[in-house]
Structure 1
Amino acid sequence: MLLPLLFLFAAAGLTDASIQFPITENTQVDTSLCPITYFGQEYTTIYINFTGEHMFVCFNGYYHPESNGDCIKAPNTESKTYFELNTEDYSFLNSVTFDVKDSINTITNDATCYLRFDHPTTFGLIAMGSQSVLWWYNPPQIIASVLVNGDVVENVPGSENWVYSDTSGCRISGFGVKPGTTRQSLDNCTSLICSNTSVSSTSSCLVKGLCTVTGPTVIDFRGQMNSVSDRCEYTLLQDQSAGFSLKANFLERRRRDVSFVDSVTLDFSQGADIQLLQGHRVLVGGSPVTLSGSVQTFNGVGLSKDQTGVTANISLNGSPVSVFFDGTTAQTYIDVPVSHTFTGLCADSSSSSSSRLSSDSSCQEQYKDPADDTINPTTVIEQCNILKSAPFSSCNAVVDPESYIIACRNTLNKYPAVDGLRCQFLKAYAKACQKSQSTVQNWWTAAKCHHPEPICQDKCSDHEFCGDIHGNTDCRCRAIYASEYTEQNRLGGPTVCKDNTASLTLVGCLLKENGIDYNHLHLNDKTCTGVMDPESHMLKFNFSSDSCGTEVTTNNSQVIFTNAVVTRNSSSDLITRQDKVFIEFSCSHPAPELQNVAFKIIDNSVEVVLQSGEWHYSLTMKAYSDAAQTQLLGPNSDVRLNQKIWIVLETNGLDEEVVSVVTDSCWATSGNSPSSSPRYDLITDGCANAEDGTVQVMGNGQGTSNSFSFNMFEFSGKEPSEVYLHCQLQLVVKKNNSFPLPGCLGVSPPLSWSGWGSSGPARRRRSLRYRRGAPALISMVWTP
């Protein structure tokens, strides 16, 4: 760190002096030979501080952004100056005394000495006894700022001739006030009055201020600025005595780590709230209203709309408050009596923690997106510094552009200059000038901005914002919402499978951003198109297991139903401007998982609920004492040996037009394990045990349920014990409402499959034959 240079002229014993030397680093200079009275306080030391963009000449220490310095701020990107202290140039001092008194009627003393700073900007401070004058000579777009306690008292634009500004003035409650002027203290609403002779006084006042919220930046009534870093709702302005709050909600756009003011709400303790939304839309009490250029009154609020935005005018205890919102910038102008105090970001932009309203802490979550390497900081400076050039410079003396420039730079250094963002800050400044009675003429032409700006005529949904898509203004996806899909390279959600139907939902704004017109999309069957929800802008496709060109295949005993979203293609079209789209999605019925659920026959039945992706079906095994299957065997049923019973294997939730259930085998064991011994087979390879004449199989493979019967028995040579009945089942695909049944029922060849190719399961429908493999097991038990 460079140590500051210290020049001690008085120590050299000089009485008259003309001292000159260059300064290229932060420097402290003893100026006791030429003391300067600056807003009521005499200083004999100056501190010269370079920041890379500005030079600060301060009287009470080196300048820091958070300090309360008494300083002159001037542009200086070269970080150098040529300093002169002069007490003996009497010809100049006499001449300047005449010029100053001719220009400023509050100056009565003669010039005694001066401090001068030259190259790249030229200015000086002239000591005139108990008074002092800033002496300024630069091009009109170059501005010097006079600061007292860090607050800008005056911005002095350059001129082709010498410009003088009285810097003696008054210091009242920490504020600098120029002689012959009045300022307002926003903290306690009093007028700060400095007479022509620098005598200070105070009186009650009316506070007149402008608060600008543009992008993430809040420039409060005092000209102080801060930024909102999250996506919460904040109080901009609150008057508890009037039961009124002005609220702003912030949301992200293309990046997750930069927030923008997205809506404004006028909240009344009595009466309906009024919301100013994107697209110049307005809700009163939650219901939309149609506005025009003529003022319409709702709940005592005058609402009007033009091409630039919506204006709401209200009266708080007889004093006017005006709120303007265009979808990107909210500006509030107040003229309120002394008896009313305000809270919120517009009163103090640093009060973000106390002004935050959202109870859901998720809005405070911070994100960090990768830096945008397309952003050129030098270009950003040029884009934002236009506020110092014509035609904006005509307003610089009335509205300090510095806060707007900083807000512009801070945002554009992180966020690309798209969606009219650069022009947003220029428009906010021009609007502030208009409120201060200093209209900037034809600025949009000079700045190459649209006038008025394009807006989305149709309502954007909550997860969208109005921006540029391939040269057109349309609804884009907000970054946090879109990241759920883009991080997985998807355009929508997962397939939803339910009750033999499937649906796929695509995100409309993602389709637009990828150049896809949803009107050109359909399923395998061209007649099956998506349905766009007019509110959410979500595109939904539906198909069932046997519609819209659904393909049915098998894979490892799974039955898979597949469809795809594709681009409509017409052979008659000579050209196309649509990218080809192929989005495949599917649902499946896996074979029931292996179960080993045993129960006594007196417990009625067992039901196993199985899940296939998101399609659900159930499999049950029940026992009856009659062929009509009306007498369900229950807890009080008596079953005798050799009594015939009927076992029904039934599914629920399968489409019998597409799939069938085959009972592959059933057998009995004396232990609960299906593999225990002894074992007695009732059904083998889908057919009844030919050696047991009591076994009959009904409807096997013909639908989603089947049954069989046999005569009750017990194992010989053992003490009476439970007999466990086990059955294995499989799902198979039908074609043309017919299914090749096992060979025992007259269809040959049995137990074969023709639905496989050399590389795996076929992608299109084929004739399928029954095969064994990966079956499911269900069991029941009875006690003889």
Structure 2
Amino acid sequence: MPAACAVDKTDKTEFTTGKVTLGVLRLCTSAPQCALVGPAMVDFAGRVGLVPDLCSYTLLATGTFGVVVEFRERRRTDMGFPHRVILTAREPNHSNTFIIGPGRQVQVNGSRLSLSEGLTPVESVLFEYTNNLHVGAIFLGQTNWTIVLDGTSVLITGVGDGRFPEGLQGLCMNITDAESFKDQTHSPDSCDTVDTHPPDSSINCTTQTERCAGLLPDGLIQKCGDSLPLHQPFFEACFQILCKYPDQGELFCHFFHSFALMCKPERADNYMTMAQCPLNKCADTVCRDSEFCELGLSKVPHCRCRAGVKKYFKQRETTCQNQQASVSIPMCVLSEKGLNVSDLHLNQESCQGTVDDKEEQITFNFDSNALCGTKVKEQGDKFVYQNIVQFNSSSDSGVISRKSSFKLDFSCFYNQPTLKTIHFHAKGGNGIQEAIQGSWKYNMSVGMFSDINLKKPFDFSKGIKMNQMIYISIESEGMDGALLLMKADDCYFSSSKAKGGLKYSLISGGCGNPKDKTIKVFPAKGNRGTVMRIKMFQFKGGNGNMFLKCKMKLCLSTAPGCKPNCDSTKPGNSGGQGNSGGQGNSGGQGNSGGQGNPEGKGKQRRSLDTLETDQDDTGYFVVPI
């Protein structure tokens, strides 16, 4: 293991007065040096390895200080780049935590540290802020360590009079044992679950390998080749990354700069110019947490969406609940397209999005009270509510626009009711089940009442007498009744729960039985269902059992044939349209589940508390009477 080297006093360095500079400390090329560029690391022993996932890892730690790096994805979700560096310095009576993040922002114990040109001391740590666009930190102790960060790479150098401190550990000591140095405290959940990406066909690995082979000018290799035998490991790390990761962010130049800093720091910027590598222009660019900085084609820094954010956006789903539809768009998606929040709207231009700065997204929504130009259409057995997030071209003056087009369809839908089981509470004369219908859910309820206003749930304890008038309400709740209509399409009484018994029609095609003038059919309030008025009877020669079987249907209220075209002059029909004079208004009493006779005793002929699907009549629910 190499020893830390002593400082050459001819450099006139004085640690005690704080006149040390990172460049002077790095002049001692025999010092132990560890470099991290993107996910590639060269440890103190010259071993090369890749950080395996998007967790946080300890680079170096002793009993007095620690260096932890948080990794985040950029263009690929299977490769992590340094995002933040967390430094811990243990003082005699307390500890200080320093967080160095994007844009060279530094926090000390949660408070922002303002850095000025030169050195800023904070107890045993010195921070360097220079015009060559990086941040450096120096731990002063028995062995002095320098840490240089530029947003993509981390360079650690040890300078002192002795060997490595006892107990020194971390990736810099052994990159091949990365799992042992994972920092659980700063690692997000599931950070070790990494996607598998196929080879990038746009990358010519031969070209990138040749590029990495010429990592530094010959003169610099000769200068450092004997005293700093890290050219070969840097070459290996370079082509391992560039053969996988698209070098649109000048990643090669970060390898170049890191090696130049380790070899001849005072000439590093000159070598960058010779290699036509731009200085780290992203160093002072602060992006959102969901973004990373990258140089564009014009070599101007831009904030780009992280691959994980784009993956989430591509797999996005509309949130459908409580009759509201909403979709969220990451703000970085708009930034990449050069769009502003005010540029987007729904079909109705006045309906714009709401920005959530914490989640870094903008959300668009519509509901039954504010449809915002939503289009409703029937698709098979679904009724789809669709809207579009779109670019408002009128926000650009003139006849042309240089902003990207944007169009995002999102929708929620209701399914036709296909209830398989519905509970019936005999005590309150009410049955209710929450039926999940596609993306939106609504409730279907069945109630039996003794009055036309549906205020009095039927009292089964007294039994049902012949010729007694009962009112059966079948309604939906949690559904838009303005555009959709729920109706009983077919209802009948049967003497058997299964198919094959005696049968008497009550409703057919949404209209009452024209042969029975005692049957009346009304629309429930708000087009949410059907109310039937029935005068009780019994089957001749039957066993006294009666089962109500109904099939419900959902349709667009404006569609032809949705509202029953019943002849109101015939028995059993109220026209099926319009206001039923309050007959369909249950006022919520039909869902009380606890009204009527609280005991449920008396002459009730059948005490079943479930409604089951008639296996031979698909889509019908069965009510035992």
When the two structures are superposed, what TM-score results if normalisation uses the length of structure 2? 0.76
Paired letter, 1:478: R
1:629 to 454, 461, 480: 454
2:260 to 414, 425, 430: 430
Give the direction of change, closer, same or farther, for the CA distance of 1:260–1:533 in structure 2 (3 Å limit). Answer: same
Match of 2:622 in 1: 779
Q: Deviations for 1:295-354, whole angstroms, at most 9, x for unmatched residues?
A: 5555754445445122233334x5533222221111223335556341122233433243
Match of 1:158 in 2: none
Cα separation, 1, equivalents of 2:123 and 2:541: 94
Superposition deviation, residue 447 in structure 1: 1.8
Q: Deviations for 1:380-415, whole angstroms, at most 9, x for unmatched residues?
A: 434552513356765556544513333333322333
Match of 1:475 in 2: 303
Paired letter, 2:623: M
Give the direction of change, closer, same or farther, for the CA distance of 1:299–1:713 in structure 2 (3 Å limit). Answer: farther
Match of 1:450 in 2: 278
Paired letter, 2:305: C
| 1:542-553 paired onto structure 2 within 5 Å | 542-545=365-368, 547-553=371-377
Q: Which segment drifts farther, 443-452 or 570-579? A: 570-579
Cα separation, 2, equivalents of 1:353 and 1:452: 31
2:240 to 410, 416, 419: 410
Superposition deviation, residue 525 in structure 1: 1.7
Question: Residue 148 of structure 2 aligns to a residue in which SS?
Answer: strand
Q: 1:568 aligned to 2:422? A: no
Superposition deviation, residue 617 in structure 1: 0.3
Q: 1:355 aligned to 2:184? A: no
Match of 1:214 in 2: 37
Root-mean-square deviation over aligned CA pairs: 3.9
Structure having the larger proportion of residues in strand? 1
| 1:323-722 paired onto structure 2 within 5 Å | 323-335=147-159, 337=162, 340-358=166-184, 363=192, 365=194, 367-375=196-204, 377-378=206-207, 380-382=209-211, 384-390=213-219, 399-400=228-229, 402=231, 403-433=233-263, 438-440=266-268, 442-455=270-283, 457-462=285-290, 464-469=291-296, 471=298, 472-480=300-308, 482-483=310-311, 490=314, 493-510=316-333, 519-545=342-368, 547-556=371-380, 558-570=382-394, 573-593=398-418, 595=420, 597=422, 601=426, 604-633=429-458, 636-673=461-498, 675-700=499-524, 703-719=527-543, 721-722=544-545
Cα separation, 1, equivalents of 2:524 and 2:190: 59
Contact 1:391 1:441 in 2 (8 A): no
Contact 1:232 1:364 in 2 (8 A): no
Q: 1:274 aligned to 2:95? A: no
| 1:60-71 paired onto structure 2 within 5 Å | none
Q: Which has the larger radius of gyration?
A: 1
Paired letter, 2:198: D
Cα separation, 1, equivalents of 2:301 and 2:253: 15
Match of 1:248 in 2: 69
Match of 2:59 in 1: 236
Give the direction of change, closer, same or farther, for the CA distance of 1:666–1:262 in structure 2 (3 Å limit). Answer: same
Give the direction of change, closer, same or farther, for the CA distance of 1:565–1:682 in structure 2 (3 Å limit). Answer: same
Match of 1:729 in 2: 552
Superposition deviation, residue 502 in structure 1: 0.9
Superposition deviation, residue 417 in structure 1: 2.6
Question: Residue 344 of structure 1 aligns to a residue in which SS?
Answer: coil
Match of 1:91 in 2: none
Contact 1:694 1:710 in 2 (8 A): yes
Superposition deviation, residue 735 in structure 1: 5.2
Superposition deviation, residue 474 in structure 1: 2.5
In structure 1, stretches of 5+ residues that fail to align are 1-174, 176-183, 192-206, 753-773
Cα separation, 2, equivalents of 1:268 and 1:745: 88
- Greater relative contact order, per chain length (Cα 8 Å cut-off, separation 6+): 2
Superposition deviation, residue 373 in structure 1: 4.3
Contact 1:596 1:778 in 2 (8 A): yes
Give the direction of change, closer, same or farther, for the CA distance of 1:652–1:286 in structure 2 (3 Å limit). Answer: farther
Q: Deviations for 1:352-373, whole angstroms, at most 9, x for unmatched residues?
A: 2432335867516473421444
Contact 2:511 2:564 in 1 (8 A): no
Paired letter, 1:427: H
Cα separation, 2, equivalents of 1:740 and 1:226: 71
Question: Residue 363 of structure 1 aligns to a residue in which SS?
Answer: coil
Contact 2:38 2:152 in 1 (8 A): yes
Cα separation, 2, equivalents of 1:707 and 1:594: 19
Paired letter, 1:672: K
Superposition deviation, residue 583 in structure 1: 2.8
Cα separation, 2, equivalents of 1:580 and 1:309: 37
Cα separation, 2, equivalents of 1:706 and 1:286: 62
Superposition deviation, residue 426 in structure 1: 1.9
Cα separation, 2, equivalents of 1:749 and 1:638: 28
Give the direction of change, closer, same or farther, for the CA distance of 1:381–1:239 in structure 2 (3 Å limit). Answer: same
Give the direction of change, closer, same or farther, for the CA distance of 1:637–1:293 in structure 2 (3 Å limit). Answer: farther
Match of 1:72 in 2: none
Question: Residue 331 of structure 1 aligns to a residue in which SS?
Answer: strand
Question: Residue 408 of structure 1 aligns to a residue in which SS?
Answer: helix
Cα separation, 1, equivalents of 2:397 and 2:331: 27
Give the direction of change, closer, same or farther, for the CA distance of 1:396–1:615 in structure 2 (3 Å limit). Answer: same
Cα separation, 2, equivalents of 1:515 and 1:481: 17
Cα separation, 1, equivalents of 2:169 and 2:215: 33
Contact 1:596 1:777 in 2 (8 A): no
Q: Which segment drifts farther, 379-388 or 605-614? A: 379-388
Q: Deviations for 1:178-224, whole angstroms, at most 9, x for unmatched residues?
A: xxxxxx546xx999xxxxxxxxxxxxxxx943322222232333444
Superposition deviation, residue 618 in structure 1: 0.8
Give the direction of change, closer, same or farther, for the CA distance of 1:636–1:420 in structure 2 (3 Å limit). Answer: same
Question: Residue 424 of structure 1 aligns to a residue in which SS?
Answer: helix
Paired letter, 2:174: D
Question: Residue 657 of structure 1 aligns to a residue in which SS?
Answer: coil
Question: Residue 192 of structure 2 aligns to a residue in which SS?
Answer: helix
Cα separation, 1, equivalents of 2:453 and 2:384: 35
Give the direction of change, closer, same or farther, for the CA distance of 1:611–1:366 in structure 2 (3 Å limit). Answer: closer
Cα separation, 2, equivalents of 1:580 and 1:313: 49
In structure 2, stretches of 5+ residues that fail to align are 8-29, 578-616
Give the direction of change, closer, same or farther, for the CA distance of 1:751–1:348 in structure 2 (3 Å limit). Answer: same
Match of 1:102 in 2: none
Match of 1:152 in 2: none
Match of 1:199 in 2: none
Paired letter, 1:315: L
When the two structures are superposed, what TM-score results if normalisation uses the length of structure 1? 0.62
Number of residue pairs matched? 547
Contact 1:617 1:652 in 2 (8 A): yes
Contact 1:660 1:733 in 2 (8 A): yes
Cα separation, 2, equivalents of 1:210 and 1:598: 72
Contact 2:89 2:125 in 1 (8 A): no
Match of 1:263 in 2: 84
Cα separation, 1, equivalents of 2:285 and 2:120: 21
Contact 2:430 2:457 in 1 (8 A): no
Match of 2:583 in 1: none
Superposition deviation, residue 668 in structure 1: 0.8
Q: Which segment drifts farther, 263-272 or 520-529? A: 263-272
